A and B are shown apart, each in its own frame.
Chain A
Amino acid sequence: MALLEIKNLHVAVDDREILKGIDLTLDAGEVHAIMGPNGSGKSTLSYVLAGREGYAITAGTIRFQGKDLLAMAPDERARKGVFLAFQYPVEIPGVAGMTFLKTALNALRKERGAGELDAMQFLKFVRAQAKRLEIGDEMLKRALNVGFSGGEKKRNEVLQMAVLEPILAVLDETDSGLDIDALKIVADGVNALRSPERAMLLITHYQRLLDYIVPDRVHVLAHGRIAKSGGKELALELERKGYGEFLGEAA
């Protein structure tokens, strides 16, 4: 059984069809990249997987571990192991980042039948993960994403992923807005989370990220469909030739 199975997925926003029949299968342990020009529907796919409101599923199915993902509320999906690293993480003043993360982790642990961590255990665990992402105590103490630079927000997303240990991680343009040093830190963090039990979907515009996180499969999304799939060499080809051949295609 595939970990994630998307079949003939059609999605509309405000009566405009954005995804026009996506088929995609991820097995446990795999890392797939979805590449494509702006406006091709990459972020729509990530939001639909996470369960954001405002997206009408007009046809198709998504099964996660054999279950109907679309029937689950966003929080239920997260507790079952789906994680979206946001392209634009929202700032939430007044909610301490650590309080938020502890609430989330304990909700997940409860679902998995594990006991809640106490404050000391939690702090120790988070600090260890944060260190790898070069996130200091000062940053951990702040309100959720408030006053974070673009790079800090992305690192914080990867920290959450490391702490919440998802089964399926969707990373939406996690490389955008990062300089090369920050990109390496984030990529190292992501690579450390690669495991035989976990699948990842990397959504990116640029090939650059894939130099550091090498995918098993690469898919090109254009005009709401997967136009081409291949191995990691497809990313290099796209880098060389650009998205030109996919842009002309009629919608």
Chain B
Amino acid sequence: MAGDAPFVDQFSAAAPLPALRAGGLARYRAAGLPGPAIEAWKYTSLDALTKLGLLPAGGAPTTLEALPEAALLAVDGYRAVFVNGRFVPAFSALDGLPKGAVVESLAAHIARDPAAAEAALAGADDGTPLVALNTAFLTDGLVLTVDRGVVLDKPLHLVSIGRPPDGQGVAFHPRHLIRLAPDAVATVVESHAGVGGAGYFANTVADIRVEDGATLRHYVLQNQAAEAFHVAAVRLALAARASYEGFVLHIGARLARHELAATIAGDGVDCRMNGLYLVAGSQHVDNTTFIDHAQPGSRSRQLFKGVLDDSGRGVFQGRVLVRPHAQKTDAHQLSRALLLSRKAEMDGKPELEIYADDVRCSHGATIGSLDQEPMFYLMSRGIDPATAYRMLVEAFAVEALDEISVAAIRDAFATHAQAWLATRRAGGGA
């Protein structure tokens, strides 16, 4: 190796949990930044990231004048705000949480009980390079614990703001822990945005466990600043009869990747992971999922839709594994991309790996441009081409948002999506 992997020289043994983090560093160092040599990163290159000269977030300011509009959601809920990966109590609103639902910052959790924190943190790191990198530099994040049978009455809004210091890039590695005890119910909605013109790297890991019969709805708005690199890895464990409804809406970032790895470890599980990505300019958006049906009798559903304009590039890699004894698995996956420009590009790689014989599994992938027939139909009724075009693009996108079961969040996401759609015009990038 010509030089050491980026970030390695920034490691600080003086920060809390040095042994845990040194383990992460060693795994990251052995692998280096992931690139096309690894199958899971075949279509997404982080080369541009290494040229940013990113500083560790430790010394960066954690103050804000106001939350940027890109992160706002018109949803009544609890709020936990992070700036450069550090919890900011002043912008947060966590009063009135129901008994049995606890929100704490990871930094506070580590300070309070380092041994328990270390044990809780160990599980998610599967050795993939960026999760290992996250372990090496973890300092803060959100810890949500919901006790048995407790219903979190309002959504918890996790706001993550990247705020690079003047003219300099910053890297931060938040680690969130979400634990739902049996029969607990919670809705967590994340929004990611940035302020200031410089680049930053948000390398987030969400470690989620949903125990027997519990329900988690987990929605993510990725609306990062134009120069941001956003990589979010969700490591999800689902016990029997657990339900997970995930959704990611990508609008911002120079490069974004949402990566879900779900282990279905019981029967009767309902695992849904849906998404919409709106890509323009020279943006690159990657959605990578891995659903591991390790137990029989569970269901997984995935719908990812993308609208790609200009030289935008989209990636969907969806792997579904049905293990030999996971009989009666019902897994469905659909990827649909709409290309609005000749220069836009989409790479799709669905993979079904099925080792059980009594299963219902299917996948589909389409990549296409806007059909002329609906355009003509709308125009034949007097609707001008620009309006007809917007109506059809919006129609394509809205179908994905319909998968969000919480109406207020669906509407809030639609507002952000529509703002993007309003900037599109017929023939814009063709």
Binding site for B on A (CB under 8 A): 50-53, 73-75, 77-79, 83-84, 86, 89-90, 92-95, 99-101, 103-104, 107-108, 111, 143, 160, 164
Cβ of B395 < 8 Å from any Cβ of A? Answer: yes
CB contacts (< 8 Å) of B379 on chain A: these are 51, 73-75, 78
Query: In the complex the two chains form, what is the Cα distance from A99 to B378 in whole Å?
Result: 11
| Cross-chain contact of A94 among B378, B382, B384, B396 (Cβ < 8 A) | B396
Name the 4 nearest CB pairs between A and B, nearest first: A94-B395, A78-B382, A104-B381, A75-B379
Q: List 22 A-B contacts (CB under 8 A).
A: A50-B376, A73-B379, A73-B385, A74-B376, A74-B380, A75-B379, A75-B382, A77-B380, A78-B382, A78-B383, A79-B382, A83-B380, A92-B378, A94-B395, A95-B374, A100-B378, A100-B381, A104-B378, A107-B383, A111-B382, A143-B395, A164-B381
Q: How far does the alpha carbon of A150 sit from the alpha carbon of B130 in the complex, in Å?
A: 54
Contacts of B398 in A (CB 8 A): 94
Whether A53 touches B372, Cβ cut-off 8 Å, given contacts A92-B395, A94-B394, is yes
Interface presence of B399 (CB below 8 A): yes
The smallest beta-carbon distance between A50 and chain B, in angstroms, is 5
Question: Which of A86, A90, A95, A107 sits near B382, CB closer than 8 Å?
Answer: A107
Chain B contacts for A53, CB-based, 8 A: 372, 376
When distances are taken between beta carbons in the complex, the residues of chain B under 8 Å from A90 are: 373-374, 377
Whether A78 pairs with B391 at a CB distance below 8 angstroms is no
Known: A77-B380, A78-B380. 6 other contacts (CB 8 A): A75-B388, A94-B398, A100-B381, A100-B391, A103-B387, A107-B382
Is A78 within 8 A of B374, CB to CB? no
List residues of chain B with CB under 8 Å of any chain A CB. 372-374, 376-385, 387-388, 391-392, 394-399
* Set of chain A residues within 8 Å of B387, measured between Cβ atoms: 103, 107
Nearest CB in chain A to that of B396: its residue: A94
Task: Considering the complex, give the chain B residue whose CB is closest to the CB of A85.
Answer: B380
- Other-chain contact of A84, B380, B385, B392, B394 (Cβ < 8 Å): B380
B385 and A75: CB pair below 8 A? Answer: yes
Q: Which residues from A are CB-within-8-Å of B394?
A: 94
Partner of B381, one of A78, A94, A99, A143: A78
CA separation between A93 and B388, bound complex, in Å? 14
Chain B residue contacts of A93, Cβ below 8 A: 395, 399
CA distance A50 to B378 in the complex (A): 12
Q: What residue in chain A is nearest B393 (Cβ atoms)?
A: A94
**Cα distance A29–B172 in the bound complex, in angstroms:** 74
In the assembled complex, how far is the CB of residue B306 from the closest CB belonging to chain A, in whole angstroms? 15
On whether the beta carbons of B377 and A89 are closer than 8 Å, the reply is yes
Query: B13 to nearest A CB, angstroms?
Result: 54
Cα A95 to Cα B372 in complex, Å, equals 15
Chain A residues lying within 8 Å of B391, measured Cβ to Cβ, are 95, 99-100, 103
CB <8 Å contact, B377 and A94: no
| Residues from chain A with Cβ under 8 Å of B380 in the complex | 50-52, 74-75, 77-78, 83-84, 86
B377 A92 Cβ-Cβ under 8 A: yes
A161 to chain B, nearest CB (A): 10
**Which residues of chain B have C-beta atoms less than 8 A from A164's C-beta?**
381-382
Find the residue from A89, A103, A164 having the highest chain B CB count within 10 A. Answer: A103
Interchain CB contact under 8 A, A107 and B384:
yes
Q: How far is the CB of A250 from chain B (nearest CB, A)?
A: 34
Chain A residue contacts of B388, Cβ below 8 A: 75
Q: Which residue of the partner chain B has the closest CB to A163? A: B381
Closest-CB distance, A114 to chain B (whole angstroms): 13
Considering only CB atoms, which chain A residue lies closest to B378 in the complex? A100
The chain B residue with its CB closest to the CB of A111 is B382
Residues of B contacting A104 with CB < 8 Å? 378, 381-383
Q: How far is the CA of A83 from the CA of B395 in the complex (A)?
A: 24
Contacts of A52 in B (CB 8 A): 376, 380
- Closest residue of B by beta carbon distance from A74: B379
For the complex, give the distance between the alpha carbons of A95 and B387 in Å.
Answer: 12
Within 8 Å CB of B395, what residues of A?
A: 92-95, 143
User: What are the residues of chain A within 8 A of B384 when measuring CB–CB?
Assistant: 75, 107
Name the B residues within 8 Å of A75 (CB-CB). Answer: 379-385, 388
Q: Residues of B contacting A50 with CB < 8 Å?
A: 376, 380
Q: Which residue of A lies closest to B398 (CB)?
A: A94
CA A88 – CA B391 in complex, angstroms? Answer: 21
Q: Kindly report which residue of chain B lies nearest to residue A103, judged by CB atoms.
A: B383
How far is B376's CA from A92's CA once the two chains are assembled, in angstroms? 12
Taking CB as reference atom, which chain A residue is nearest B382?
A: A78
Residue from A51, A90, A101, A111 having most chain B Cβ neighbours under 10 A: A90
How many Å from the CB of A48 to the closest CB on chain B?
A: 12
Task: Please give the distance in Å from A56's CB to the nearest CB on chain B.
Answer: 16
Give the chain A neighbours of B377 by CB distance below 8 A: 86, 89-90, 92
A82 to B398, CA, bound (A): 31
User: Nearest A residue to B388 by beta-carbon distance?
Assistant: A75
- Bound CA–CA A215/B299 (angstroms): 59
Chain B proximity of A90: nearest CB distance (Å) = 5
A129 to chain B, nearest CB (A): 15
A74 CA to B382 CA, complexed, in Å: 7
**Minimum Cβ distance to chain A for residue B386 (Å):** 10
> In the bound complex, how far is the Cα of B394 from the Cα of A99, in angstroms?
13
Give chain B nearest CB distance to A64 CB in angstroms. Answer: 14
Chain A residue at smallest Cβ distance from B400: A94
B64 → A minimal CB distance (Å) = 37
What chain A residues lie within 8 Å of B376 (beta carbons)? Answer: 50, 52-53, 74
Cβ-defined contact, A108 with B382, below 8 A? yes
Q: Enumerate chain A residues within 8 angstroms of B385, measured Cβ to Cβ.
A: 73, 75
Closest beta carbon of chain A to B404's beta carbon, Å: 15
Max chain A C-beta neighbours (<10 A), residue from B374, B382, B394 = B382
Give the CA-CA distance A78 to B387 in the complex, in Å: 15
B342 CB to closest chain A CB (Å) equals 18
Which residues does chain A contribute within 8 Å of B372, judged by CB atoms?
A: 53
Task: Report the minimum CB–CB distance from A116 to chain B (whole Å).
Answer: 13
**Cβ–Cβ < 8 Å partners of B399 in chain A:** 93-94
Once bound together, how far apart are the Cα atoms of A143 and B374, in whole Å? Answer: 13
In the bound complex, what is the Cα–Cα distance between A143 and B399 (angstroms)?
Answer: 11
The residue among A101, A104, A107 with the most chain B CB atoms within 10 A of its own CB is A104
